[in-house]
Amino acid sequence: MHSALLAIDLFLVIEKLVLIVGIVSISLVIAMYETYAERKVAAFIQDRRGPNRAGPFGILQPLADGLKLFMKEEIIPNTSNRFLFILGPCLAMMAAMMTSAVIPWGGTLNVFGRPVTLQIADINIGILYVFGVVSMGVYGIMIGGWASNNKFSLMAALRGASQVISYELPMGLSLIALLMLTGSLKMSEIVAQQMDSTWNVLYQPLGFFIFLVCAFAECNRTPFDLPEAENELNFGYHQEYSSMKLGFYLFAEYINMFISSVVMATLFFGGYDIPFFNDAAHTDWGNWLVALQGLVLLMKVGFFIFLFMWVRWTIPRFRYDQLMNLGWRGLIPLSLINMIATAAFILWKSNGYKF
């Protein structure tokens, strides 16, 4: 065997490590400030001012909240399954963080003459990976609810699991229509196609709408926040949790929100494509163009995060039967129709618009 094949590319290892650390810390910081933004948005929508005491405009509030959570007494119920009880929030957090690995955050940077792609892993089954990891998030809920050894928690976990599984179906079906258009599961490929032509949301508005609704359900956000229904199930699956373990669950929700916003922006809104601007004509800007692209992606994500919060503070929670009705009798047929219509259209187009 040739010796060069065995050599480890040290630069690649460093590059990926820096990327991983960077992306993980960025998503943590964004999730942190999402909690602040959530409280501010809630306050503004309800004609209040929101947190404004910790630091200027209250921007240190997330730090204060985090400190408070860390200082709280950590209670593990005697009757709980200790190992699973600790595993639950870790799994929720891990599943939330892992999705960011396949997302292209920008174009190719030029670091000391070496091209560095702003993507941790450009695998050719990117979307499948996202799906696989997102569905792992249900383990966090399920294990947490089960290990608490509490009727309410178990009930909420069951609800959560069935909700997440039911809404994954229309989500996948709406994506199939999209994948038929792009012909690729690779995230970077999908973004590149959108940069060359138009954003996918123009081809798949219904698919995007279904995906959006399912993303709300997957993130357990209002109107679908049944797993943690405060007033019916005493905070649901994290009732027995305290201190930072509770914080992990709450934090995982915000990271999920961030990641699903990124996925939506990437799949339907052109990823890091700058709207009304020809990126390819400005390659001489070099790294600045890449930074701008990253910023544009974050702006799109910011809009989606605001949408999440906006919806949360507008629409009340569904009843459980309404939730299931919407999922199985509303969204699944709708996404099936969307899929078949897209398939028929693609077939028609490939036949040269002839029957």
Interface positions with other proteins (CB under 8 A): 41, 44-49, 52, 310-311, 313-315
Distance CA 58, CA 51 (A): 5
For 116, the 3-state DSSP assignment is strand
Whichever of 17 and 315 has its CB closer to other proteins, that residue is 315
Whichever of 146 and 211 has its CB closer to other proteins, that residue is 211
Q: How many angstroms from the chain centroid is the CA of residue 194?
A: 20
Nearest approach, Cβ of residue 45 and other proteins (Å): 5
Whichever of 211 and 251 has its CB closer to other proteins, that residue is 211
Distance CA 238, CA 111 (A): 44
Nearest approach, Cβ of residue 313 and other proteins (Å): 6
Q: How many angstroms from the chain centroid is the CA of residue 149?
A: 29
Whichever of 41 and 91 has its CB closer to other proteins, that residue is 41
Nearest approach, Cβ of residue 27 and other proteins (Å): 26
Whichever of 143 and 309 has its CB closer to other proteins, that residue is 309
CA distances from 99 to 23, 94, 104, 311, 350 (A): 11, 9, 11, 24, 34
Whichever of 111 and 315 has its CB closer to other proteins, that residue is 315
Whichever of 44 and 83 has its CB closer to other proteins, that residue is 44
User: Cβ distance 144 to 237 under 8 Å?
Assistant: yes
Nearest approach, Cβ of residue 294 and other proteins (Å): 27
Residue 73 DSSP symbol: P
Nearest approach, Cβ of residue 329 and other proteins (Å): 12
Nearest approach, Cβ of residue 335 and other proteins (Å): 15
Nearest approach, Cβ of residue 261 and other proteins (Å): 17
Residue with tokens 């460093």: 14
Closest C-alpha among 262, 183, 154, 158 to residue 215: 262
**Which contacts of 266-269 are long-range, i.e. CB under 8 A and separated by 24 or more positions?**
266/103, 266/104, 266/187, 266/190, 266/191, 266/297, 267/127, 267/175, 267/178, 267/190, 267/200, 267/211, 268/178, 268/199, 268/200, 268/201, 268/204, 268/207, 268/208, 268/211, 269/199, 269/200, 269/201, 269/300
